[in-house]
Amino acid sequence: MHATVQAFHDAVLAKNDDAILPLFAEDIRFMPPTYWKTWTGRAAVAAVIGHVNAVFTDFSYRRTLGEGRDWMLEFQCKVDGLDAVGVDLITLNDAGLIQEFEVVMRPYKTVGALREAMMARIAKDPSFATFREAIS
Kindly tell me the burial class for residue 119, based on how many C-beta atoms sit within 10 Å of its own C-beta (0-12, 13-18, 19 or more): exposed
Determine the average pLDDT of the residues in 69-89.
97
- Beta strands 24-31 and 98-106, pairing class: parallel
Contact criterion met (CB below 8 Å) for 47 and 41: no
* CATH topology (fold) of 3-119: Nuclear Transport Factor 2; Chain: A, (3.10.450)
Q: Give me the pLDDT at residue 128, please.
A: 75
DSSP 75: E
- Bridge partners of 77? 84
pLDDT on residue 129: 72
21 and 4 in contact (C-beta within 8 Å)?
Answer: no
pTM above 0.85, yes or no: yes
Hey, which bits of the chain come out as E strands?
24-31, 39-40, 57-67, 70-79, 82-92, 98-106
Task: Say how many residues make up the chain.
Answer: 136
With bands split at pLDDT 50, 70 and 90, how would you rate the model's confidence at 86?
very high
pLDDT tens-digit series, residues 15-44: 998 999 999 999 999 999 988 889 999 999
